[in-house]
Structures are given as C-alpha cells and as structure tokens.
Structure 1
Amino acid sequence: MKTVRLGNSGLEISAVVLGMMSYGDPEKGSHGWSVGLDEARPFVRRAYEAGITTFDTANVYSAGSSEEITGTLLKELAPREEVQIATKVHGRMRQARNGGGLSRAAIMHEIDASLTRLGTDYVDLYQIHRYDPLTPVEETMEALHDVVKAGKARYIGASSMWAWQFARMQHAAELHGWTRFVSMQDQYNLLEREEEREMHPFCQATGVGVIPWSPLARGNLTRPWGAAGSGTRKDTDEFGKGLYRQDEDANRAIVDAVAAVADERGVPMAQIALAWSAGKSAVTAPIIGATKERHIDDAAAAVGIALTDSEVRRLEESYTPRYPSGF
C-alpha cells in the first residue's frame, strides 16, 4: 500500500487508516456491538499485512478498552516506530470534575491515561474529538502544544466541527506560535458531502490533511438500497442510525449509481465508494472499520482504483444539499 504524507507535515501514514472503534469490551461504554481482543486480532493482523500501518482510536471508545486492545495488538505485530497510532480526547471519561472536554486539566490527565492504556510513551497523532465551546481555544491549543513539547504526541489533529471553529483554533495557534493541527477527521462520503463547502477548501489552502470517517456511510454504500445489513451494530448503533435519514430519494439514486459502476467494473460496491473517497483531492486517507476480513481486502484494493471522470459524475450527480450531520 502506498504511503502518503499527512497534510504538509512530515508524518507518513498509510493510504488507508484502520479505525479501531469496532474493537473493545462490549460491556463498557456505549458500543455494545464492539468485539474483544481475540476477535479483533485477525482483523488488525490482516490490515497490517495489507500495508495498513496507521490505526485510529479514541479514549472514549468502549470506555478506554479500545485503546487497550489497540496497544496490545500493535505490540504483537510490529516495532513501535513502524506503526502510527492516533487517538482522541474530549469525551467524558470520568464523572468527576474535569472528566471530559478540552480544558488543560482534562487534556493533561487524558493524554497520560491514553498512553497508559496504549502501552506507549507517545502517540503519533493526538486529536480533539469535538470542539469544546466551554473552554477558551487558547487554553486548549496551549495545552496541546505542551503535550507535543513534552514528547507525548508527535502531531495534533481535530475532528468533526464547523470550519469557523477549526479556523479559530488554528488562528490561536498561529498567533501564539503554538503547534498547529495537521489533520481534520470529518464525516465525508457520497451521502454526506457538506464538508466540500468550507472545511475541505480551508484544509487544502492551509496544508491540513483530511482523514474522513465513515467513507462507506455506515455500510449504506456497500449494498443495494433497501438491502438489510447484518450484525449487532445495525440494531444498536443509535448515533449511526440518524446520520443518513435526510433526502432518501437522493441517497437511493446515489447508492444505485455506486451499484451500477461496481457492476460494470466487476468489483464490490465498497471498492467503488472507497475509491471515490481516496481519489478526492482534499482527502489524504479514508478511515475504515472492519468486522469482516473482506472489509480490509476491499479497502486495500480500492486505493488502486482510478475512477474515470464520467464515473465520478455519475456517482455525484444525484447529491442534494443537506444539513451537516455527525458533529
């Protein structure tokens, strides 16, 4: 798998990132559909063997157990310097004061807790999971800068916020000479393209890499419209259920177009949807989830597919504007 640079930073990552949200203790946190260590092992190994060396998790995933599984499995696979570990901070981890958000107190506590769970002394990318309207951006950015200067994170990134919020935080860092974000992790797929309006142009203009989550729209782009998905997550992921309910007529037409292009090329629909994502000029590397080995195989194959201009037009032409979701 090819190597890409994350924005204008020097950090090299794989062209596909494996999201680790599916792996954790299902008895902890809100991801009752997650799978434990032994079930996760073959997926992480297959990803690594396919050339995926970048793994994304978060402190809040399965109440920290996703980080524990990530750290354990990556130690089994490769030397620390040969993989890139990304995690996130913001979600509430403790009911005590300063147990969540992006205050200096929360960030300084949570980076140490994440490193302990991951079993490493640094992460390659430390991301804020959401914008915190209750904490001054200067406090957050200085704390993140101090995390980098302490050697606990190599780079910092952000996720899922309005473009003006992201720009405000970057401006604060520039103004004070603090570490800037090198990445934006946002929701972006054929059914949710609102980031093309402001966030992606801003990222491209300022050298920020984009590593989108849900490039397959929670599986909606992997099967014909109306075909039922399978698995516990389909029934229990309340957050995911609400993401793609806007303009179902347009969504149906988009999914039909994906199916048609896939049929013409003789490949699974997932490969076409991922090839579209990976081929967008703003995108550095899509983040995929995997609960079946073919999910990884499809992702590895997709980065080698170059869609024609005609195919891209067919995939995009039915999209209708909608209110952004996923924040």
Structure 2
Amino acid sequence: MSSGQDVPFVLGTGSVENEDAYAVLDAYFAAGGRYLDTARVYGRAEAVVGSWLADRGVRGDVVLLVKGGHPDSRWRPRLSRAAVFDDARASLDDLGVDSVDSYLLHRDDPGQPVDAIAAVLTELVESGIARAVGVSNWSSERVELLLDALARNGGPPVSWVSNYFGLATVAAPSPYPGVRSAVPSLVDLARRSGFPVLAWSGLSSGYFDGRRAAIFESAANAARRDVLRSVAERHGASPTAVLARWMSTRPAIVAVFGSADADHVVELISAARDPRLDDPVADLVSTLGEAMDDIGDFPPGA
C-alpha cells in the first residue's frame, strides 16, 4: 500500500452506518490510515463515508476501495455491464465523488466468460469511474483467466483480489453463496502477478474473541483458539493483539479489519504496528505447525 498509509491494514466499513461512525473513521485517519473498504451492499456505509469525507475535507488523502455487482436478493449474478455501471454510479453518488481509486466486483459469475467481465472492468477505467479495478470472492483459476483476458485485450491490471483469509478455517458452508478464500494457489498467484490479496474478515468474525460464529465452530478452530490464548499469555499480550500482528505481517496479504468501536480500532492499529509482537507471532506459527496449512480454506460445497 502507499498514498501515505501508515497503518498496515485497510479499514472495513461494513459496521459504519451512522454518524457515530465518524469516531471510528477519525481514529483510523488520525493514526495514519488512508485505505477504506466499502461496498454497495453495506447498508448506509457509503453515504456515511461520503458525508465524513466531505465534512473532514480529506477526499484527496483517502484511498477508496469500492465493491459492486453483488448478486441480487435471490443470489442471482449481477455482472452485466448495466448492473455493474448502475452500482458504480450509485456508489459515486453516495460517496460524493467523481471516481473511486479501485472498483472491485463483489462476486464472480463462473457461468460468464471472463472476456466479457474483463471488458466491463476495462470500461470502468476508461470511463473514469475507477482508477483501478479488482475482484472479490474469485477462485485462483478464474483470476488467472481474468489476468490473461485483460492482458490480451489491453485492459488494466488487477489491483486487488479480496477473498477470505484468517486464522480460522471455515468449518461449514457459508450462508453467503459464492464466497471464496485465499487458498495457497491464489496467494502464490498474487505473489507472481504483483497484486495483494485483500483479506476480508481478517479477525474471523471475532471468533477468537469468544463470539459465536457458526461457520467457524469446529474442534480444529477451537484448538487454534486455545493455542493463540496460550501463546498470548506466555508473552504477556492479548490474543487479539497477536492475531492482528500476525494478519498484518503475512506475505501478499493485506488485512481488512472493521469495528464499530473507535477504541478497538486504536488497539488494532497499535498491535498491527508493534514489532514486539513478532516473537509471539513466531511462537504461534511454530506451535501450530502443520495445523496452519489449511488456514482460510472453505470446505467443499461452501
């Protein structure tokens, strides 16, 4: 990341839906955070972010990563040119901007040829709606095909691929169809091709803080949680701090952390920056050993 970013993660705005969220955005920005992740389906998030940008006068300092083209309420794909451009223009209106820094397609439609999708992404850049483009919840195989299609047709590069990645392995089919994780083949492709993996739900929906998250309930994840807590205790740190530092230092991974609490955001920033947490992170990785191999994977049929 660049553009003056001094926080090693992107702030997710899925919990930013009212004016009280200004405190969260202010805390992130004051600490040097400049990258905001938002989406057309995040309720009022885009409108709140847009109001905050205008009130604070900081549009030129903030990098907007915006997702659109989400399936409809019956989970039917919406990646036609018309649907994507309708979403993109609505996002510009709510955000109060003329263009966004990167526009990501929120889901794939495996039944649609990648050349058609590449054409839509190219037009988003050529029209001035987005300076860069990316995709979210795509398999590594489809991303590789998209990279090839964009290169063949003189399109823009893929700047981001946003998939799930976290310490917890998904243990049950997601209630949200079409989600994908950053499996090793995608991370390898990211390293070779030069795009970062934007890891949504970097804190695994709060599972390691004790929240119930049905898709993460498994004996394997419970064991990882116990190891994380034990390692944190040995080093006099909090489990969340160790987890935040681990996520923020993974090769080719850029974590997305979100919170509705400004103090929690400040704590995450402090932990993500703290090199003193590298020892407990190394201890965590060493202790888990081979149990780290399938981190982030979704089960068959998810």
Output the CA distance in 1 between the equivalents of 2:283 and 2:14: 35
Amino acid at match of 1:22: S
Amino acid at match of 1:17: V
SS at the partner of 1:266?
coil
**Cα distance, 1:164 vs structure 2:** 0.5
Amino acid at match of 1:312: V
**Alignment of 1:221 onto 2:202:** no
**Cα distance, 1:250 vs structure 2:** 1.5
Query: For structure 1, which runs of at least 5 residues remain unmatched after alignment?
Result: 6-10, 25-36, 224-228, 235-240
Q: Deviations over 1:147-185 (max 9, x none)?
A: 112221111111112111111111110111111211111
Aligned to 1:269: 239
Amino acid at match of 1:305: D
Q: Tell me if structure 2 keeps the 8 A contact 1:254–1:316.
A: no
**Cα distance, 1:273 vs structure 2:** 0.8
Please give the root-mean-square deviation of Cα atoms over the aligned residues, in Å: 2.5
Q: Tell me if structure 2 keeps the 8 A contact 1:158–1:185.
A: yes
Output the CA distance in 2 between the equivalents of 1:167 and 1:213: 20
**Alignment of 1:202 onto 2:189:** yes
**Alignment of 1:312 onto 2:285:** yes
**Cα distance, 1:274 vs structure 2:** 1.4
Matches within 5 A, 1:92-107: 92=71, 101-107=78-84
**Alignment of 1:89 onto 2:72:** no
Aligned to 2:59: 80
Amino acid at match of 2:216: Y
SS at the partner of 1:183?
strand
SS at the partner of 1:220?
helix
Output the CA distance in 2 between the equivalents of 1:127 and 1:41: 24
Output the CA distance in 1 between the equivalents of 2:101 and 2:39: 13
Amino acid at match of 2:291: S
SS at the partner of 1:286?
strand
Amino acid at match of 1:310: D
**Cα distance, 1:192 vs structure 2:** 3.0
Q: Deviations over 1:94-125 (max 9, x none)?
A: 99xxx961111112222111101111001111
Output the CA distance in 1 between the equivalents of 2:226 and 2:291: 10
Output the CA distance in 1 between the equivalents of 2:159 and 2:32: 22
Output the CA distance in 1 between the equivalents of 2:284 and 2:70: 39
Output the CA distance in 1 between the equivalents of 2:245 and 2:135: 24
**Alignment of 1:41 onto 2:22:** yes
Q: Tell me if structure 1 keeps the 8 A contact 2:121–2:133.
A: yes
Q: Deviations over 1:183-215 (max 9, x none)?
A: 111111111396342110011111011120111
**Alignment of 1:324 onto 2:298:** yes
Q: Deviations over 1:248-290 (max 9, x none)?
A: 221111111211222233232111111111111121x211111
**Alignment of 1:157 onto 2:130:** no
Q: 1:299 aligns with which of 261, 268, 272?
A: 268
Q: 2:10 aligns with which of 3, 6, 17?
A: 17
Aligned to 1:115: 92
**Cα distance, 1:71 vs structure 2:** 0.9
Output the CA distance in 1 between the equivalents of 2:8 and 2:123: 29
Of 191-200 and 175-184, deviating more is: 191-200
**Aligned residue-pair number:** 284
**Cα distance, 1:316 vs structure 2:** 4.8
